[in-house]
Amino acid sequence: MDETLDLRGLKCPLPALMTRKALARLAPGTMLTVQADDPMAAVDIPHMCHGEGHAVEGVTSRDGYNEFVLRSGSA
């Protein structure tokens, strides 16, 4: 089951840490949509994903926040 994680209002490093925790509990291949408005999330979340074997399927700038579409890996 695909999930959405709304992390708007949280500041670095919480968005990346909470995204890591969410991806770790998901089955490989599960999609996770993350919404974050912290500017550092645009760097931290993709960096964390690449380092831990998760895929960044897309990043979209919305009105005041970024939306990350991630696919959990086998990490």
Residue 47: CATH number of its domain: 3.30.110.40
Q: Of these residues, 3, 8, 10, 12, which one is catalytic?
A: 12
Catalytic, 49? Answer no
User: Domain of 27?
Assistant: 3-71
| Total domains, the chain | 1
pLDDT (tens, 9 = 90+) of the chain, 75 residues, equals 689 999 999 999 999 999 999 999 999 999 999 999 999 999 999 999 999 999 999 999 999 999 999 999 974
* pTM score, whole prediction: 0.93
The residues near 11 (Cβ < 8 Å, ≥ 6 apart) are 38
CA-to-CA dists, residue 55 to 5, 11, 35, angstroms? 16, 23, 16
Residue linked to tokens 């005041």:
64
Contact 52, 70 (CB under 8 A): no
Distance of CA 35 to the CA centre of its chain: 8
